[in-house]
Amino acid sequence: MSSAPHSASLRRRDIFLLAAYGVATVLVYVCLHGIYRPDNLDDAWFLSCAHNHVVNGIERDVVFATVPGVNGYGGVMLFGKSFTWLYGTVLRVVGWTKCAAHLLSTLWVVCGAACWGAILVKLGFTRRLALFLGAALLLVEPCFGAANQARPDALSWLLVSGAFLAFLCRRCFWAGLLAAVAIEIHPVGLAAFLYMASAVVARALGRGQGKPMPLADFLWLCAGVGAGFAYYLALHASSLGLLPQILGQGNASDGAWSNFLFSYFFKTKYYRHLFELVAILLCAGFLVWRRQGREQPFVLVFFGAALLFSLIIRRPSFMYVVYVYPAFLLLLFWTFERQGRLGLAACLLLVFLLPQYAFVWSRNHDWDMDAYLAQVRALVPQDDSPVVGRPNDWFAFPERTFYADCYQGDFSAHAPPSFVLIAGDTFRHGGYGAFKPAIRHQYTMAELGRFQSRGETVVIYQLTK
């Protein structure tokens, strides 16, 4: 199951190309830190859940009021306590900031990419391919996006990758345990078992080069999963009644063809991933046409497993692509390596990605989160009155009662005597739907001040019954 000998050794130009990847990675991560997706609501969503869980002992989502299984997991009642404990423990020390959370996510992605380099070596691929794939994973958007968000995907993906590496090293108890913890962090952690199944099937198809999975390894895997299940029960036993609702409604798609791959390739801005889709399909077709997939069955088996996984996980969040992108990148790089053109593939990928990140920097380089939050704090009274604002505004007041503009609950049912409203373009253009009925009929508004932020007028109001 080894690759072509002529491609196995690292060449001088490979060293220069890997160095270019290293420089590009550092520049992209440094230049886009904190500005990659400045208005991403997921940062406040997940970190507010972490804060309420770790600091206040609240398991429900009280900032966005998401409903379990309908528009989220409703807090950490059934998933995510490992994530909130880890991030919350660190952020309680260094501060509840986006930048600190993103640095944690970046650490997990770097470790995950390193795991994939070791995984490819264990699977019999060349070290040259392993180095290029590990370097490229840090720059492709699914991984870079996970590294620059406070979502649980980065941590879960690391544990999924670590579980697969442990499985290949025949540390099957740890493989099962890590996979189970990855699922507790996020249900998409099920990908770990798909990775393992791909290796087992590829070994069976490898023309007698591999042996069936030993019974002892399978039993150790089951023991690890059992230990992970016990860990899950210790965290969530009181909320198990919600599990069918969350797994049923929470895994629904919004159309027959809609899933996270469809969202990634066809619903992202500027259709920027269509080039990747064409390249992936051409490489898959080439391997099937030339029957080269037989030389390393894992490539096409893993690719097929990724497609199958997109049918199992129906929720159309393109963030989940991070779990299957190693299969796509491996397909691309191994196809080019078989033709002696791995360096060309790595160059083309770098040329494809860097202009996109440069464009993001040109659009967002003037964003200063700290300056914005300072302006908000300066205008909001320093008392205990609740605050209603955009997701980013939560970072100015993590210790206060806060309601996000996209609040899903019934605000009128527990409307406070007074609160502070942070209103921007979203408020003026039809947002804040949960609050406007109460504002019109129950409150009077007094402006506290206003300021400009990236061409938007932000107005602070005091509302009193």
Q: What is the pLDDT along the chain (465 residues), one digit of tens a residue?
A: 344 444 567 888 999 999 999 999 999 999 999 999 999 999 999 999 999 999 999 999 999 998 876 667 789 999 999 999 999 999 999 999 999 999 999 999 999 999 999 999 999 999 999 999 999 999 999 999 999 999 999 999 999 999 999 999 999 999 999 999 999 999 999 999 999 999 999 998 876 555 678 999 999 999 999 999 999 999 999 888 888 877 766 666 666 567 899 999 999 999 999 999 999 999 999 999 988 888 899 999 999 999 999 999 988 899 999 999 999 999 999 999 999 999 999 999 999 999 999 999 999 999 999 999 999 999 999 999 999 999 999 999 999 999 999 998 888 887 899 999 999 888 888 888 889 888 888 899 999 999 999 889 999 999 999
Q: What pLDDT is recorded for position 304?
A: 96
**Domain final residue, candidates 364, 386, 404:** 364
In angstroms, rounded to a whole number, what is the distance separating the alpha carbons of residues 266 and 406? 25
Domains contained in the chain, number: 2
Same domain? 354 vs 387:
no
- 137 and 277 fall within a common domain: yes
- pLDDT at site 211: 67
* Domain termination residue (choose one: 300, 331, 364): 364
Structure tokens of 67?
């409903």
pLDDT of residue 5: 40
Q: What is the pTM of this model?
A: 0.94
What pLDDT is stored for residue 241 in this prediction? 85
* Domain identity same for 352 and 382: no
195 with 322, same domain?
yes
Q: Are residues 390 and 431 in the same domain?
A: yes
Same domain (yes/no): 109, 166: yes
Res 207: pLDDT: 60
pLDDT of res. 425: 87
Nearest-angstrom CA–CA distance, 257 and 398: 39
End position of a domain, from candidates 307, 336, 364: 364
pLDDT in tens, 357-379: 999 999 999 999 999 999 999 99
pLDDT attached to residue 52 = 96
pLDDT value of position 432: 87
Q: Which domain holds residue 15?
A: 5-364
Whether 30 and 119 share a structural domain: yes
Enter the DSSP assignment of 260: H
Do 348 and 431 sit in the same domain of this protein?
no
Contact 181, 157 (CB under 8 A): no
Q: What pLDDT sits at residue 69?
A: 65
Is 324 in the same domain as 258? yes
Q: Name the pairing type of β-strands 456-464 and 444-453.
A: antiparallel
Do both 322 and 386 map to the same domain? Answer: no
Cα dist from 308 to 42, 62, 302, 314, 324, whole Å: 27, 35, 10, 11, 10
Q: Would you state the structure tokens that stand for residue 157, as one six-digit string? A: 């993906």
- Looking at the fold, whether 160 and 229 belong to one and the same domain comes out as yes
Q: Which residues of 76-99 are buried (b: 16+ CB within 10 A; e: fewer)?
A: bbbbbbbbbebbbeebeeeebbbe
Cβ contact 25:138 at 8 Å: yes
- Domain shared by 317 and 404, yes or no: no
